[in-house]
Amino acid sequence: MFKSLISRRNALRAAALTVAAVSFCGYAHAESTLEKAKAAGYIRIGFANEAPFGFATPDGKLTGEAPEVAKAVLKKMGIAEVDGVLTEFGSLIPGLKAGRFDIIAAGMFINPKRCAEIAFSEPSYGIGQAMLVAKGNPKGVKDYSTFASNKDLKLAVMAGAVESGYAKDAGLSAEQVISLPDQSSLVAAVQAGRADAAALTALSIAEMAKKAEGVESTEPFGEVAGKSVKGHGGFGFRKEDKDLVEAFNKELTAFLGTPEHLALVEPLGFGKGYLPNKTTAQLCAGE
């Protein structure tokens, strides 16, 4: 009887261990985001409708520097299609972390604060700043220093973008800064006189000035308060998607600067002069 009980207990323990081992193996081999995307043949990318970085055309085509580069790189990885998910710029990182999409393709600048929240690819471009002003630039806006020296002036920035930080660094008061959700809101604020200028990257401002009435771009600039503001944009990923980041970076770094890459981005205003000159490690370290 005693031996029979021991045998039964041992058998139950063995069965429990087997179930645990099977469960562990199933957990250990759970499909990664990269594996799922390869199997499905598509992946979801988040963008913020900010031309020329990432935007949808009137007929619904997803384009811009980031989506076009992402599509080319992902195709080389064996992922033939992308599904675009439109969201406000300030909601891109929360949306990525919540699983609404798997890659941020919006030309997002790489900086230490964002690096603490998500993983980034190597940068795909580097660019300075400019300001959108009323035609003829009646207030004589040059850069952020114009606002720092005249507290009556107001500057519009896009919520969640780096320009609000630049404004603070330059000495603008909180009352001088108007935070708005998107490019069209920035243009409208300058056109209506609610803001004396709007700040964004030089390419975005040039695109906005080209399409809107009664506004123009200032000359691009690369420094704010004595510090370089040449921003480097890359693609955002969840930190746990390490294999996806690694595979993406491998193809991206081989692609950048090639004739194929330049032919793809030059029609969008990018070219050899916009190639990155810093690494993600440097940018995440604040260098």
Does residue 3 register a pLDDT over 80?
Answer: no
For residue 204, tell me if it sits in a domain.
yes
The answer on 145 and 68 residing in a single domain is no
What average pLDDT does this structure show over 16-27? 46
For residue 140, tell me if it sits in a domain.
yes
Q: Among 7-21, 100-114, 142-156, 220-234, which stretch is predicted with the lowest mean pLDDT? A: 7-21
Q: Output helix, strand, coil percentages for the chain, rounded to the nearest 5.
A: 45, 20, 35
Q: Give the three-state DSSP class for 86.
A: strand
How many structural domains does the chain have?
Answer: 2
pLDDT value at position 6?
Answer: 39
For residue 150, tell me if it sits in a domain.
yes
pLDDT digits (tens, 9 = 90+) for 22-73: 444 444 568 999 999 999 999 999 999 988 899 999 988 999 999 999 999 9
The answer on 208 and 72 residing in a single domain is no
Residue type, 57: T
Domain CATH number, residue 163: 3.40.190.10
3 token code pair: 């031996």
The answer on 256 and 114 residing in a single domain is yes
For residue 11, tell me if it sits in a domain.
no
Instruction: Look at residues 201, 228, 255 and tell me which one is the last residue of a structural domain.
Output: 228
By C-alpha distance, which of 197, 237, 223 is closest to 108? 237
Q: What pairing do the DSSP bridges indicate for beta strands 103-109 and 42-47?
A: parallel
For residue 157, tell me if it sits in a domain.
yes
The residue range of the domain holding 172 is: 129-228
Q: Are 69 and 61 in contact (CB under 8 A)?
A: no
Q: What secondary structure does DSSP assign to 100-146, as a single string?
A: S-SEEEEEEEP-HHHHTTSEE---SEEE-EEEEEETT-TT---SHHH
Bridge-partner residues for 81, per DSSP?
Answer: 42
Mean pLDDT of the chain: 90
The answer on 236 and 217 residing in a single domain is no
Does residue 127 register a pLDDT over 80?
Answer: yes
- Count CA within 13 A, CB hemisphere, residue 52: 22
The answer on 254 and 120 residing in a single domain is yes
The answer on 108 and 49 residing in a single domain is yes
Q: How far apart are the first and last CA of the chain?
A: 74
For residue 201, tell me if it sits in a domain.
yes
